[in-house]
Amino acid sequence: MSRTERECKSCGYVFDTYFMATMDYCKRCVPSVIELAKAIKLFPDIETLHTENERYETALERLARLGNEPELGNSIGNVIVQEALKGGE
């Protein structure tokens, strides 16, 4: 095997990694690996992601106001968090 070739962990097929997004599975096995991962909850469902996102946004908003509540703070840390919140819009 060359440096860009790998053996698929699922079926043993030798494939070139140069054209693949994954380094462990060939293109024939990737869809089944993704479905398996979803089945065993390796990928969270969309509702879980929304809940986590809301929780992080709430925490960031509190940090943006820390020390100057209810207004936004003006310390370096406050400004960093405010810029991070703007990036999510």
pLDDT tens readout for residues 62-72: 999 999 989 99
Q: What is the pLDDT of residue 14?
A: 86
pTM: 0.50
The residue segments making up the domain with residue 34 are 5-39
pLDDT tens readout for residues 27-78: 777 777 677 676 666 667 788 889 999 999 999 999 999 999 899 999 999 9
Are 50 and 82 found together in one domain?
A: yes
Q: Which two tokens stand for residue 3?
A: 């440096």
50 alpha carbon, distance to own chain's centre: 13
Average pLDDT estimate for 82-88: 85
Are 59 and 77 found together in one domain?
A: yes
Are 35 and 50 found together in one domain?
A: no
Provide the number of structural domains found in the chain: 2
Are 28 and 52 found together in one domain?
A: no
Place of tokens 């986590």: 52
Q: What is the pLDDT of residue 89?
A: 53
